Amino acid sequence: MIIVSQDRNIIINFNNVANVNIEKCYNESLNKEDFSYDILVYIVSSGLTRIAKYQTKERAKEVLEEIIKEYLYCNEQDCMNNIGYVQNRIYEMPKE
């Protein structure tokens, strides 16, 4: 499965991802109330990369659930052709 980052500048092969997590990040304003929830992936060859930013932790969790569903769908028989090769699917990170 391929994941396209929220800003559409990064394309990630999910086979190269070691983990995905949500991290609370304070924005540059230094205001403790000014923060977001970033979805970060750890790519085996290049390290930690932010692929999306959301205003609430709940929305970030919803997006992670969407990624899980898409990944599981890719591994079902419906995605396999007659030689057993799983066809690539693309998941684009939602803006909001």
Interval 76-91 mean pLDDT = 62
Can you give the pTM of this predicted structure?
0.79
- Per-residue burial over 32-70, b = 16 or more CB atoms within 10 Å of its CB, e = otherwise: eeeebbbbebebeeeeeebbbbbeeeebbeebeeebeee
Q: How confident is the model at residue 47 (pLDDT cuts 50, 70, 90)?
A: very high
Q: Return the higher-pLDDT residue of 28 and 40.
A: 40
Q: List Cβ neighbours of 45 (8 Å cut-off, separation of 6 or more).
A: 16
Q: How confident is the model at residue 81 (pLDDT cuts 50, 70, 90)?
A: low
Mean pLDDT across the chain, nearest whole number?
Answer: 85
